[in-house]
Amino acid sequence: MSDPRYTAKAATKTEIPRPKRGEGQWALGYTEPLNKNEQSKKDDSPLNVRDRILYTYSKRGFASIDPADLRGRFRWMGLYTQRAPGFDGGKTAMLEEEELDDEFFMLRVRSDGALLSHDAVRALGTIGVDFARDTADVTDRENIQYHWIRIEDVPAIWERLEAAGLDSMEACGDSPRPFLGSPVAGVAKDEIIDGTSALVEIKERFIGNPDFANFPRKFKTALTGHPGHDVSPETNDVSFVGTVHPELGPGFDLWVGGGLSTNPMLAQKMGVWIPVDEVADAWEGVASIFRDYGYRRLRSRARLKFLVADWGIEKFREVLENEYLDRQLVSNPSPESPVGHRDHIGVHEQHDGRFYVGIAPTAGRISGTILVQLANLIEEYAVAGARLTPYQKIVLVGVEPAVVEDLVARLDEIGLSARPSNWRRNTMACTGIEFCKLAIVDTKERARTLVGELEKRFPTLDTPITVNVNGCPNACARTQVADIGLKGQLVMHEGEQVEGFQVHLGGATGLQANFGRKLRAHKVTSAGLDDYITTVVTNFLADREAGELFATWVARADEDLLRGDKLLEGVTAP
């Protein structure tokens, strides 16, 4: 039988009419910059800012930084100015960005799904201790994010990162942002295919490559060969998801055009089979389409999802095959969507008889000190290494059976539990008002006290309920795909504006993927959040059918039971 991987090269170019009003699509001839971000990227490649940081700004100090670099190109090096203290959420939309800038930076370090050795984890920890006032957050993009970074210290930080095989290159900006890779790649018993080599190849070929450093906006990649779809592939611009072809064996399906923020869209599935050694070429094709055909006029329409939504997945595939890959992809039905946890928390046996152990910081917040302690444990127990997860968690990989319980106890002592409560396991929070210039409300601290309170009120919950706390509509902690998604905003309470949230209920990825139910004119104050969630969860527990998931219940529940001001008759809250 002929190998279906190699079919005749497609010859035709897809007809793409030139729209009457240009959207800034380079491939259609609109190469003149149409906004100030496009102008800045054209004025100078954002990658050039690296040398200016190393040789000028770090020596001459914050005041010497060119504003176009500070608020533009610095992002390509993973650096954002953080929010100056003392401005509440009411000021966020009122002040210019420069008024909210502090003279300190957030620095994001990408892990790209890599297995971090004890040396790498120790380097990450000591950077936090020495340069970041002991901050270090695990983010839902598998990054470590620091705060309080001074420009003077950036060269030393980069040196230490480089020695540990890490970097902050293109961790922000209109660039190939940090990749999400399966935290259990190469070790999970039920893995379909290990995609590690593909992620390494994409990184080598395209990160820091000037041909892929000026996209219309950010470009987010996810890749997993795990059947649990553990990298939120529905919400990335490009995702490769493990699949099996009946004759060709394991490979990857290609999904494109996912993203959240104010106009959320789930990725569309191409239904193809791509072998692992051709994934990087497919990535290059998708990234090139985004670069060449992406909309560059309005930043609010510049993400790949808008192009995919306009074209449809068939046309997208056609352009990819005809103009970029020079061959046709093998069609294959998309893999089934899973239900349930994707976070790998707990103790699990690997295919080689060793174990992996998923541990949960609260809402992604740890510290440099904790990372150093973690590195010491990894070394002491001869663990193969650690991976970060898209759920603000950490997975230790390659733990010998004889030491598992000892290690779990030691991890608990440093606040990293392998057996966390539902609330600690399933609550995420974005950066929020503490450091983010776009924030309207506090998130991390609010999430921490929420978890503490809900642990008291519902100490044993027999079904997972996820809570994602976000400081504004940008949805960095994925508001729309949580059971209880919280979008920060100011709300009126007794005649005053106070911190609060709009609530999305019953959002999900996987089999039941949807963006959750928003109740009309429904807001909760931040102070009233614990009680609101308590009421809704109490109603759920009383009203659910056997085995019913929270999201399924929300879809059918009476609005009264979701608004939080009424308990089901005969029920009392804890």
Helices 196-206 and 279-293: crossing angle in degrees, nearest 10, is 40
Beta carbon nearer to ligand HEM, 80 or 131: 80
The correct pick among 40, 322, 474, 512 for binding ligand HEM (CB under 6 A) is 474
Beta carbon nearer to ligand SF4, 430 or 467: 430
Question: Are residues 78 and 149 in contact, defined by beta-carbon separation less than 8 angstroms?
Answer: no
Beta-carbon contacts of residue 96 (< 8 Å; ≥ 6 apart): none
Question: Are residues 215 and 294 in contact, defined by beta-carbon separation less than 8 angstroms?
Answer: yes
The option from ligand HEM, ligand SF4, none interacting with 261 (CB < 5 to 8 A, set by class) reads ligand HEM
Paired with 347 in beta bridges are 357
Beta carbon nearer to ligand SF4, 422 or 431: 431
Paired with 119 in beta bridges are none
Q: What is the helix (H) or strand (E) element at residue 205, kind and residue range? A: helix 196-206
Pick the stretch among 196-204, 245-253, 427-435, 494-502 that binds ligand HEM (CB under 6 A).
427-435
Beta carbon nearer to ligand SF4, 293 or 501: 501
213 binds ligand SF4 (CB under 6 A): no
515 binds ligand HEM (CB under 6 A): no
Tokens 């919950």 correspond to what residue? 461
The correct pick among 232, 288, 468, 489 for binding ligand HEM (CB under 6 A) is 232
Binding to ligand HEM, residues 296-315 (CB under 6 A): none
The option from ligand SF4, ligand HEM, none interacting with 536 (CB < 5 to 8 A, set by class) reads none
CB count in 10 Å sphere of residue 231: 30
What is the C-alpha to C-alpha distance for residues 351 and 225, in angstroms, rounded to an integer? 14
Quote helix, strand, coil % in the chain, to nearest 5: 35, 20, 40
Binding to ligand HEM, residues 233-252 (CB under 6 A): 235
Q: Whole-number minimum distance, CB 215 to ligand SF4, in Å?
A: 19
Q: Whole-number minimum distance, CB 270 to ligand HEM, in Å?
A: 20
What is the C-alpha to C-alpha distance for residues 211 and 51, in angstroms, rounded to an integer? 18
Binding mask 54-93 for ligand HEM (x = CB under 6 A): --------------------------x-------------
- Could you tell me the two tokens for 423? 């609330």
236 binds ligand SF4 (CB under 6 A): no
350 binds ligand HEM (CB under 6 A): no
Question: Are residues 385 and 115 in contact, defined by beta-carbon separation less than 8 angstroms?
Answer: yes
Binding mask 447-476 for ligand SF4 (x = CB under 6 A): -----------------------xxx-xxx
128 binds ligand SF4 (CB under 6 A): no
The option from ligand HEM, ligand SF4, none interacting with 432 (CB < 5 to 8 A, set by class) reads ligand SF4
The option from ligand HEM, ligand SF4, none interacting with 260 (CB < 5 to 8 A, set by class) reads ligand HEM
- Could you tell me the two tokens for 69? 């670099």
Residue 208, phi then psi, degrees to nearest 5: 80, 10
468: left (phi over 0), alpha (psi -120 to 50) or beta: beta
383 binds ligand SF4 (CB under 6 A): no
Question: Are residues 45 and 214 in contact, defined by beta-carbon separation less than 8 angstroms?
Answer: yes
CB-closest chain residue to ligand SF4: 471
Beta carbon nearer to ligand HEM, 147 or 317: 147
Residue 324, phi then psi, degrees to nearest 5: -120, -35
433 binds ligand HEM (CB under 6 A): no
436 binds ligand HEM (CB under 6 A): yes
CB count in 10 Å sphere of residue 190: 10
507 binds ligand SF4 (CB under 6 A): no
Residue 243, phi then psi, degrees to nearest 5: -150, 160
509 binds ligand HEM (CB under 6 A): no
The correct pick among 175, 392, 422, 502 for binding ligand HEM (CB under 6 A) is 392
Residue 258 identity (one-letter amino acid) = G
CA distances from 32 to 37, 385, 387, 411 (A): 12, 47, 42, 55
Beta carbon nearer to ligand SF4, 232 or 470: 470
The option from ligand HEM, ligand SF4, none interacting with 231 (CB < 5 to 8 A, set by class) reads none
What is the C-alpha to C-alpha distance for residues 263 and 89, in angstroms, rounded to an integer? 22
The option from ligand SF4, ligand HEM, none interacting with 471 (CB < 5 to 8 A, set by class) reads ligand SF4
* 59 three-state secondary structure: helix
Pick the stretch among 138-146, 300-308, 436-444, 453-461 that binds ligand SF4 (CB under 6 A).
436-444
What is the C-alpha to C-alpha distance for residues 574 and 571, in angstroms, rounded to an integer? 10
* # binding residues, ligand SF4 (CB under 6 A): 12
145 binds ligand HEM (CB under 6 A): yes
Beta-carbon contacts of residue 101 (< 8 Å; ≥ 6 apart): 70, 71, 81, 84, 437
193 binds ligand SF4 (CB under 6 A): no
Beta carbon nearer to ligand SF4, 242 or 259: 259
Paired with 350 in beta bridges are 188
CA distances from 413 to 122, 175, 396, 538 (A): 18, 39, 16, 32
81 binds ligand SF4 (CB under 6 A): no
Residues that bind ligand SF4 (CB under 6 A): 430-432, 436, 438-439, 470-472, 474-476
Binding site for ligand HEM (CB under 6 A): 80, 106, 139-141, 145, 232, 235, 260-261, 364, 390, 392, 430-431, 435-438, 474-478
